[in-house]
């Protein structure tokens, strides 16, 4: 697959900047942008990009895995397909495994989301941030509520995915370079865990299993093609890879559509093989994990171990993967946590290669040269508007435990509640067959019967399909 040359033009820059300033208002009022958003990619990252046959400006795609507390950045290589660039350990996420349902449930979202330049916040009170885009069409069709759900720094979460400041600086820079290279938007795929047969077997008793099987369909599309899956929503469910002359409406009946034959065959074959493995694991006695409520997220073992060894919270801990601030508490099970299962959680994962957790680096920002030029583009506040803020709308006496609200001041340490931090990641499989705030939120999603293999392609997605890279220099909003 050939790729169009990446062309930087004043019009492309202007479009990106216009989208940024239309994003929304910062409750802190007008402030000068601090320049963090213009930190250049490190020499190490640039060398890694080149070694993987990628370009600095090529498109990116993100995958998030709650249970493993891992954040993957994929980047399009010169073959036109996505390859894994780096895996970041997540410093903190809140809530339980499962989708976000309502404002205040502290749930970090799960699903397929689209990030445009207008969702990037260079002036976040949490170092840097970008809005995930919750609720998307699927969420709205199912009546889910919430707003200002972010990926940001500061390692503190009330419904967000929190990284270290060093990590978010590098992730933000990767997104910035892709936008300036012409990418209109990038996709986030947020999962409860890696969609492996073992994990699905272990979580087979969860009330969210039908929703997760739907998400797996999107994951399988990506796994077999290494292309960003096209996502639509109809009949209150996600649909992947659909081609149609009709129109998708999230709450209405799906139009007649088809999935390209080679992709449909590859996805169905993968599904059948996975179903066989799941059945084998269950028959061999793989125990189902307890269904827990009242827990409050997780933290990657890299950071959890560092906190335990250094007596945190209350001290600033510097690790190879980034700095943990002194106000951060490790997740722990709350006294109110409930468990609805007597099954043991101890089952050894299937042996196989693990994806390595690599360290993020953030080079200091420059004040002059090209950095200064970009800063003028992203940093002007002439019209008094601001980029999207993750701060939730002001409310009367919102409990600190349930919100990380006012963006003007960093939240004090609030007692952190529980979490699942067990990790088990497998290296991504090779494509098959196909050549070529912050106030957050809980409730069980609408359940549907698990789809059979024959219905497997009727399944999961975001509101705005990113679709190819035609017309890449415009910025959709």
Contacts of 102 (CB under 8 A, 6+ apart): 144, 145, 146, 441, 442, 443
Q: How far apart are CA 160 and CA 150, in angstroms?
A: 5
| Distance (Å, whole) CA 241 – CA 218 | 9
pLDDT of 199 reads: 98
Contact 129, 151 (CB under 8 A): yes
Query: Which pTM does this prediction carry?
Result: 0.70
Identify the pLDDT of residue 11: 44
> Which pLDDT value is given to residue 154?
96
Domain coordinates in residue numbering, the chain: 10-208+277-447
Q: Which of 111, 104, 105, 99 is nearest to 137 (CA)?
A: 111
Q: How many angstroms separate the CA atoms of 106 and 392, rounded?
A: 12
Question: What pLDDT, on a 0 to 100 scale, did the predictor assign at position 333?
Answer: 55
Rg for the chain, CA atoms, rounded: 21
Instruction: State the pairing for strand pair 338-339/292-293.
Output: antiparallel
Q: Burial, 235: exposed, middle or buried (Cβ in 10 Å; 0-12, 13-18, 19+)?
A: middle
Predicted local distance difference test score (pLDDT) of residue 344: 34
The per-residue pLDDT string of the chain (477 residues; one tens digit each, 9 = 90 and over) reads 444 444 444 444 444 444 443 333 333 333 456 889 999 999 999 999 999 999 999 999 999 999 999 999 999 999 999 999 999 999 999 999 999 999 999 999 999 999 999 999 999 999 999 999 999 999 999 999 999 999 999 999 999 999 999 999 999 999 999 999 999 999 999 999 999 999 999 999 999 999 999 999 999 999 999 999 999 999 999 999 999 999 999 999 999 999 999 999 999 999 999 999 999 999 999 999 998 888 889 999 999 999 999 987 899 999 999 999 999 998 875 434 555 543 333 333 333 333 333 333 333 333 333 333 333 434 333 333 333 333 443 343 444 433 443 343 444 444 443 333 333 333 444 444 443 333 333 333 333 333 333 333 333 333 333 333 333 323 333
Q: What is the pLDDT of residue 339?
A: 53
* Count of residues making up the chain: 477
Q: What is the pLDDT of residue 32?
A: 54
Distance CA 477, CA 474 (A): 10
Residues designated as active site:
152, 160
């Amino acid at each position: 697959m050939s790729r169009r040359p990446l062309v930087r033009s004043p019009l492309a820059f202007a479009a990106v900047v216009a989208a940024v300033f239309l994003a929304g208002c910062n409750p802190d009022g007008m402030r000068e942008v601090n320049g963090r958003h213009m930190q250049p990619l490190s020499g190490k990252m640039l060398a890694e990009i080149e070694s993987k046959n990628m370009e600095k400006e090529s498109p990116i795609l993100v995958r998030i895995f709650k249970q493993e507390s891992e954040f993957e950045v994929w980047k399009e290589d010169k073959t036109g397909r996505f390859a894994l660039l780096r895996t970041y350990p997540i410093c903190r996420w809140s809530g339980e495994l499962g989708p976000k349902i309502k404002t205040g449930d502290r749930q970090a979202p799960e699903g397929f989301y689209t990030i445009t330049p207008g969702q990037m916040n260079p002036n976040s009170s949490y170092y840097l941030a970008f809005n995930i885009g919750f609720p998307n069409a699927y969420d709205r069709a199912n009546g889910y509520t919430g707003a200002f759900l972010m990926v940001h720094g500061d390692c503190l979460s009330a419904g967000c995915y929190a990284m270290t400041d060093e990590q978010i600086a590098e992730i933000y820079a990767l997104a910035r370079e892709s936008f300036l290279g012409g990418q209109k938007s990038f996709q986030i795929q947020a999962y409860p865990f890696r969609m492996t047969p073992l994990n699905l077997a272990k979580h087979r008793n969860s009330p969210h299993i039908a929703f997760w099987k739907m998400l797996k369909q999107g994951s399988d599309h990506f796994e077999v093609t290494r292309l960003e899956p096209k996502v639509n929503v109809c009949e209150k469910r996600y649909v992947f890879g659909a081609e149609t002359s009709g129109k998708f409406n999230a709450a209405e009946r799906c139009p007649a559509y088809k999935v390209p034959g080679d992709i449909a065959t590859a996805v169905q074959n993968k599904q059948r093989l996975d179903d066989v493995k799941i059945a084998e694991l269950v028959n061999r006695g793989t125990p189902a994990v307890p269904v827990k409520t009242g827990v409050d997220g997780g933290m990657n073992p890299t950071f959890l171990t560092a906190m335990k060894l250094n007596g945190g919270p209350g001290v600033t801990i510097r690790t190879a993967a980034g700095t943990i601030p002194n106000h951060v508490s490790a997740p722990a099970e709350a006294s109110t946590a409930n468990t609805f299962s007597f099954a043991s959680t101890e089952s050894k994962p299937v042996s196989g290669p693990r994806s390595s957790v690599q360290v993020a680096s953030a080079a200091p920002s420059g004040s002059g040269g090209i950095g200064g030029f970009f800063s003028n583009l992203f940093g002007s506040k002439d019209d008094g508007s601001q980029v999207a803020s993750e701060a939730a709308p002001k409310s009367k006496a919102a409990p600190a435990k349930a919100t990380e609200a006012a963006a003007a001041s960093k939240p004090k340490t609030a007692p952190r509640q529980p979490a699942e931090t067990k990790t088990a990641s497998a290296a991504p499989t090779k494509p098959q067959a196909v050549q070529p705030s912050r106030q957050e939120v809980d409730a069980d999603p609408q359940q549907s019967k698990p789809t059979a293999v024959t219905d497997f392609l009727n399944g999961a997605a975001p509101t705005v399909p990113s679709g190819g890279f035609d017309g890449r220099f415009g910025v959709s909003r």
